Amino acid sequence: MIEANGGAANRWRASGVQDFASSELFDRTFQEGMELVEETAAYLDGAGRQDSKLLSRASALAYAGESMRLTTRLMQVASWLLVQRAVREGDMNPSEACQDRYRLAEPAAEETRPPPTPADELPSGLLQLLDRSARLYERVLHLDRRMYKEEPVGEAEHPVLSQIEKLNAAFGGK
């Protein structure tokens, strides 16, 4: 891709980042993510700690591994969401948020596998948090891919901004 196209793609991405950060979808996703982080911390420090004491040695090891996987996944999502919030609040330039270091990592093959211990041996509270966090991660990963990795079609403008401009022109807006 030549420099001009790269510049256009970066402007397109930065515009999309700003649009997302200002959206109701961001509000809902941010709230869900932060609530899940808090709920997970409370579970692991409370009921989860008690649940893990009742497990066999092999299940306790699986519990430890799965709880680490859970917290790692949630911290990646929380970090991504906090970058988007920084854009929203003007603490970060949208084009800075487009840097690879702020991207959500593609899950490794071992992260998509089911727990090694049969589900009936792990506490249901942990299994529910694992499932919810995996679904949230997939949704945020989808957003990340759409916002940062997909190439804009040709040299067209950002599709949402293009439609807004057309509406403004039709109804006498800016």
CATH number of 96's domain: 1.10.8.930
Domain count, the chain: 1
pLDDT at site 155: 45
Instruction: Encode pLDDT of 110-120 as tens digits.
Output: 555 555 556 66
Q: What is the DSSP string of 8-65?
A: HHHHHHHHHHHHHHTSHHHHHHHHHHHHHHHHHHHHHHTHHHHHHHTS-HHHHHHHHH
Does residue 20 lie within any of the structural domains? yes
- 38 is written with which tokens? 């808090």
List the end-to-end C-alpha distance of the chain, in Å, as a whole number: 33
Is 118 a domain residue?
A: yes
In a domain, 125, yes or no: yes
Residue 161 inside a domain? The answer is: no
Three-state secondary-structure class, residue 106: coil
pLDDT tens digits, one per residue of 116-159:
556 668 999 999 999 999 999 999 999 999 888 766 554 455 66
- Domain boundaries, position 143: 3-152
Residue 44 lies in a domain: yes
pLDDT digits (tens, 9 = 90+) for 1-47: 333 445 666 776 777 788 888 899 999 999 999 999 999 999 999 99
108 in a structural domain: yes
- Whole-number average pLDDT of the chain: 84
Over the Cα atoms of the chain, what is R_g? 20
Average pLDDT rounded to a whole number, residues 78-99: 93
